[in-house]
Amino acid sequence: MSRPGQGGMVPVNGLGFPPQNVARVVVWEWLNEHSRWRPYTATVCHHIENVLKEDARGSVVLGQVDAQLVPYIIDLQSMHQFRQDTAGTMRPVRRNFYDPSSAPGKGIVWEWENDGGAWTAYDMDICITIQNAYEKQHPWLDLSSLGFCYLIYFNSMSQMNRQTRRRRRLRRRLDLAYPLTVGSIPKSQSWPVGASSGQPCSCQQCLLVNSTRAASNAILASQRRKAPPAPPPPPPLPPPGGPPGALAVRPSATFAGAALWAAPAVGPTEPAPTPAAPPRSPSAPSGAPTPGQNNLNRPGPQRATSVSARASIPPGVPALPVKNLNGTGPVHPALAGMTGILLCAAGLPVCLTRAPKPILHPPPVSKSDVKPVPGVPGVCRKTKKKHLKKSKNPEDVVRRYLQKVKNPPDEDCTICMERLVTASGYEGVLRHKGVRPELVGRLGRCGHMYHLLCLVAMYSNGNKDGSLQCPTCKAIYGEKTGTQPPGKMEFHLIPHSLPGFADTQTIRIVYDIPTGIQGPEHPNPGKKFTARGFPRHCYLPNNEKGRKVLRLLITAWERRLIFTIGTSNTTGESDTVVWNEIHHKTEFGSNLTGHGYPDASYLDNVLAELTAQGVSEATAKA
């Protein structure tokens, strides 16, 4: 029996920094709804550390390094993560330190397989405990002393629930090592961290946070002037002429006459008393945004509404859009995150305005205006239930793409994490006639080497469609197919333009998948699956590259790669139809959620995602 060992944490002081001149590994973690600290990936932690070195009081846009974390931002000053596009939850984050010789310092990640077939990383202290037992060659490990009723068996690489006796697979994966740090972190130098060219990121999240930081810096600058304190404020009064439900806020004692303004939703009203506005720069042109003003790009109709709604906003006061401003529901949680940055100076003047709503659909289109897409035959593609092909021998499929290696190098097989010069870690777990556990092969195109038995095990646990994907570089051998349920894909032209493509009509794609019963290729065969939000409408510009993307999306649809059955990242619902790593634009006339236009890099990005799934013009013609 192996008892859980120490996690190798380095003691820290009250400010979250360990003693000086002690090398340590940094792991950033967030607190989930079960009060457990979950680690960010090593890539995300490196990104956070880079931002922290530039500005210890700044904000970190996680979507810059992880596409699954696009909506999330970390405010380093309050040490909270918030989601700025939907009604997400504010979650605390922390910066933890571990010994460089522990699992995160070596880039070792231990994961367990969930019901959807996806791999989930263990909490960092559990990961370190498992790795310690593994290095000491213990046959099994009891996690009960850490509060979990599980046993880990290293011979079978499985986890067993002591109460239900249910077993799950686990794996040991080599990833990027977590960042190593020594000494103190440099103070703030600049924010945000620009690209190598020195230009700041222009994504939606960075624009939002940049404008917020500019407003905050303007207020801090005014504070440094050390204006004399104002007399005690009078009791709050409703703004004169304000609409019903307008906010009545006590003026700030820090800024003489500065109040938290509430703009009406529509139409001008009598102006409320205006605080002294900062003087406009002589070089600033008329109509240019004033310093600190939130100036996000918005479509024309929303911009017009925004202008009329801000008729009574004092000059120089930043505007902060808020959902449910005059409603009965709670204030949008993103407000808490943004004001957490803005209110770093007491008495910050902010104008709360009604948040713009995304324009998801175009104006109504008559049937006579709907046209076929030039160069793309037909207007519809249907997929039926998957016809299971005659089962292919896994060994024959793997050997088709491998070249035998007689003298393998002394390095790890990244599937079983055993040395290539020794037997496969699946020896005794998986038996295939004619496949010796010490056999090693090299994949033909990319040249990566693995145990033959490991590749057979990987193929047997996949879709078994005759294709093979290199676990290191993701190169695809053969034609990859997915597990998308039956449905219908329609596509046509509509006489409206997307933002950023003023002289171009729009390709509209409509996906429709009904609910049904999971097949043998799905996570829970025989169980019902749901299909939320269908039909789903997506949009492309009708130009040469947009039509190319459409043709490849049709190929991906026919190969069942657009959707899959799993757990929704938005709602947490399992056994439901979800997107399958090929991003679509579902917002027609705006880009408030990050799923709309303008987006200059979207078409190139989605072509790269299609290529990663094995869908390109070369393979489509083949």
Q: Are residues 531 and 441 in the same domain?
A: no
Q: Token match 């939907």: residue?
A: 86
Q: Token match 């006061």: residue?
A: 317
**Helix or strand holding residue 297 (H, E):** none
Q: Are residues 502 and 468 in the same domain?
A: no
Domain boundary (186, 220, 236) is at: 186
Residue 360 lies in a domain: no
Phi-psi region of 165 (alpha: psi -120 to 50; beta: other; left: phi over 0): left
Residue 118 lies in a domain: yes
Q: How far is CA 265 from CA 243, 301, 325, 352, in A?
A: 8, 14, 9, 10
What share of the chain has pLDDT > 90, as a percent? 37
Residue 221 lies in a domain: no
> What is the C-alpha separation between 357 and 360, in angstroms, rounded?
9
Say whether 256 sits in a helix, a strand or coil.
coil
Q: Are residues 495 and 590 in the same domain?
A: yes
Domain boundary (45, 68, 96) is at: 96
Q: Are residues 398 and 520 in the same domain?
A: no
Chain-centroid distance, C-alpha 233: 44
pLDDT digits (tens, 9 = 90+) for 448-494: 999 999 998 888 887 788 899 898 888 899 999 999 999 999 999 99
Q: Residue 335 — pLDDT band, cuts 50, 70, 90?
A: low
Q: Are residues 85 and 132 in the same domain?
A: no
Q: What is the 3-state secondary structure (H, E, C) of 142-211?
A: ECHHHCCCEEEECCCCEEEECCCCCEEEEEEEECCCCCEECCCCCCCCCCCCCCCCCCCCCCHHHHHHHH
Residue 173 lies in a domain: yes
Residue 449 contacts residue 181 (beta carbons within 8 Å): no
Q: Are residues 78 and 131 in the same domain?
A: no
- State which of 191-205, 246-260, 566-580 shows the largest mean pLDDT: 566-580
More confident residue, 590 or 33: 590
- Residue 585, pLDDT > 90, answer yes
Residue 252 lies in a domain: no
Looking at residue 479, the DSSP 8-state letter turns out to be -
Mean pLDDT of the chain: 75
Domain hosting 449: range is: 394-477
Q: Are residues 518 and 414 in the same domain?
A: no
Residue 385 burial (CB count, 10 A): 10
pLDDT reported for residue 466? 87
Residue 574 lies in a domain: yes
More confident residue, 98 or 214: 98
> What is the C-alpha separation between 408 and 421, in angstroms, rounded?
6
Is residue 423 packed enough to be buried (19+ CB in 10 Å), middle (13-18) or exposed (0-12)? middle
pLDDT reported for residue 195? 34
Mean pLDDT for the stretch of residues 271-288: 38
- Taking the whole predicted model, whether its pTM rises above 0.85 is answered as no
Q: Are residues 551 and 585 in the same domain?
A: yes
**Closest to 251 in 3D by CA, of 348, 330, 384:** 348
> What is the C-alpha separation between 82 and 92, in angstroms, rounded?
9
Mean pLDDT for the stretch of residues 325-349: 50
Q: Residue 171 — pLDDT band, cuts 50, 70, 90?
A: very high
Residue 461 lies in a domain: yes
Q: Report the domain count for the chain.
A: 4
Segment among 7-21, 134-148, 474-488 with least mean pLDDT = 7-21
Q: How far is CA 326 from CA 247, 305, 354, 590, in A?
A: 9, 16, 8, 23
> What is the C-alpha separation between 564 and 548, in angstroms, rounded?
23
Q: Are residues 57 and 139 in the same domain?
A: no
Domain boundary (186, 205, 232) is at: 186
Q: Are residues 47 and 158 in the same domain?
A: no
pLDDT reported for residue 257? 35
pLDDT reported for residue 430? 64
CATH number of the CATH domain containing 434: 3.30.40.10
Q: Are residues 449 and 559 in the same domain?
A: no
CATH number of the CATH domain containing 557: 3.30.390.130
Residue 306 burial (CB count, 10 A): 18
More confident residue, 123 or 87: 123
Say whether 60 sits in a helix, a strand or coil.
strand
Segment among 153-162, 337-346, 481-490 with least mean pLDDT = 337-346
Is residue 487 packed enough to be buried (19+ CB in 10 Å), middle (13-18) or exposed (0-12)? buried
- Residue 370, pLDDT > 50, answer yes
pLDDT reported for residue 334? 53
Q: Are residues 500 and 610 in the same domain?
A: yes
CATH number of the CATH domain containing 47: 3.30.720.50
Q: Residue 271 — pLDDT band, cuts 50, 70, 90?
A: very low
Q: How far is CA 418 from CA 135, 172, 425, in A?
A: 12, 10, 6
Residue 193 lies in a domain: no
Mean pLDDT for the stretch of residues 21-42: 88
